[in-house]
Amino acid sequence: MQVPLLDLKAQYATIKDEVLEQINEVLDTQRCIGGPKIEELECAIAGVCNCKYAVGVSSGTDALVNSLMSLGIGQGDEVITTPFTFFATVGSIARVGATPVFVDIDPVTYNINPALIESAITERTKAIMPVHVYGQMADMDPIMQIAGQSSLAVIEDAAQAISATYKGKKAGEMGTCGCFSFFPSKNLGGIGDGGMIVTNDEELYHQLFIMRNHGMEPKYYHKYIGGNFRLDPIQAAALLVKLPLLDNWSQARRKNAAYYNKKFKETVVQTPMVSEDCVSIYNQYVIRVPRRNEVVKHLQSNNIGCEIYYPVPMHLQECFGYLSQDVGSFPEAEKAANEVMALPIYPELTNEMQDYVVDTILNFLS
Ligand SMILES: *Cc1c(COP(=O)(O)O)cnc(C)c1O
């Protein structure tokens, strides 16, 4: 049996005709930048996130970069974040000239540990950037409280968590703004790169809006140096077809997660923990296992897709060597990086495929 980590063809087969029709509509108008599809998607995503405003952008990474730029964060500023994330989180902070300041994770949820944030705040701190890793939101109440006390912005990196909730609040709803990615492997994936920023702050919305188009307002007048962070209408067209299906897909992922959880019960495999406060969208289903690297190799040689998110925490990446954070600085992130692995969890996965994954792991470890 073959079990890929993700099977986008299975999903595409169910929506192909509608996607092609929507893309054709865009092509027939030859309105290939901006236009009604972008606005329709922004409106719909704002709705999903219980936010007033949304700005479509070219990627999740550009959502983060635009947010930082629009909040005026740059040289000399510090942004507190987690070392256990995809590179884009920390890369964005560094690219605007600010300094990433890491705080270790909660080993159970893999999200930033709010209890460690306060001691990382200095007079240069401008923002906290929590990441809702694997599809489960970070512990936002204490994060918002700490941010409020010190007048810090909170930029939610919600790239893996669209429509996930924390105490009934949506990803992107609580922070100053929330950043989403439509990279094809996210729960809501486009047919290429794309992203979105949501906010309830009208002034920030306006700044995000003009910064995505070179900081231009009015035409050919530039008070700010922005970029080309625009979302393509072809992406918006495809995403508008997929968005109504998002909740069903996330539900199917939760069902698959529950099935794995049951099968791994009372084994050496440590299954993911979802806080009582949260509904996860399981962008990834991540276990901890002994002899992790051998298990990964074994699955691969049995035609089972799996991946390590993420093998090297950000403070140990070569490019961030200038931050002088040695091995041992963030022990929980480092431990997680050595023990975690993600299993296939996509909606179209069958119980038979899951049985094969579970048996292959347990047979190897027994
Ligand atoms: C995917 C991802 C991003 C970047 O999104 P792109 O659309 O690929 O630029 C940023 N942060 C996290 C946590 C992600 O998972």
pLDDT value, residue 365 = 96
Atom of ligand 1 minimally distant from the CA of 59: 7
Residue nearest to atom 14 of ligand 1 (CA): 159
As a 3-state breakdown, the chain gives helix, strand, coil percent values, each rounded to 5, of: 45, 15, 40
Owner of token pair 């049995």: 302
Residue nearest to atom 10 of ligand 1 (CA): 88
Domain with CATH 3.90.1150.10 in the chain: 246-365
DSSP strand pairing (278-279 vs 78-81): unpaired
| C-alpha span between 50 and 299 (Å, rounded) | 40
The residues, any chain, with a CB within 8 Å of residue 319's CB and separated by 6 or more, are 94
pLDDT value, residue 115 = 98
Q: How far apart are the first and last CA of the chain?
A: 21
Phi, psi of 311, rounded to the nearest 5 degrees: -75, -25
pLDDT in tens, the chain (366 residues): 999 999 999 999 999 999 999 999 999 999 999 999 999 999 999 999 999 999 999 999 999 999 999 999 999 999 999 999 999 999 999 999 999 999 999 999 999 999 999 999 999 999 999 999 999 999 999 999 999 999 999 999 999 999 999 999 999 999 999 999 999 999 999 999 999 999 999 999 999 999 999 999 999 999 999 999 999 999 999 999 999 999 999 999 999 999 999 999 999 999 999 999 999 999 999 999 999 999 999 999 999 999 999 999 999 999 999 999 999 999 999 999 999 999 999 999 999 999 999 999 999 999
Q: Using a 6 Å cutoff on CB, does residue 200 contact ligand 1?
A: no
For domain 246-365, give the CATH number: 3.90.1150.10
| C-alpha span between 357 and 300 (Å, rounded) | 11
pLDDT by residue (tens digit) across 52-103?
A: 999 999 999 999 999 999 999 999 999 999 999 999 999 999 999 999 999 9
- Given 3.40.640.10, 3.90.25.10, 3.40.50.12780, 3.40.50.920, which CATH number is that of 8-103+111-244? 3.40.640.10
Q: Using a 6 Å cutoff on CB, does residue 85 contact ligand 1?
A: yes
Domain with CATH 3.40.640.10 in the chain: 8-103+111-244
The residues, any chain, with a CB within 8 Å of residue 135's CB and separated by 6 or more, are 160, 161, 164, 187, 253, 280, 281, 282, 283, 284
| C-alpha span between 326 and 261 (Å, rounded) | 35
Atom of ligand 1 minimally distant from the CA of 131: 13
The number of CA neighbours under 13 Å toward the Cβ of 8 is 11
pLDDT value, residue 17 = 98
pLDDT value, residue 149 = 98
pLDDT value, residue 142 = 98
Q: Using a 6 Å cutoff on CB, does residue 58 contact ligand 1?
A: no
Q: Using a 6 Å cutoff on CB, does residue 231 contact ligand 1?
A: no
Q: What is the pTM of this model?
A: 0.98
Q: Using a 6 Å cutoff on CB, does residue 88 contact ligand 1?
A: yes
Phi, psi of 187, rounded to the nearest 5 degrees: -60, -40
pLDDT value, residue 218 = 96
The residues, any chain, with a CB within 8 Å of residue 83's CB and separated by 6 or more, are 90, 102, 104, 105, 313, 314, 315, 316, 325, 330, 333
- Maximal C-alpha separation, the chain: 67
Whether 336 contacts 110, CB under 8 Å = yes
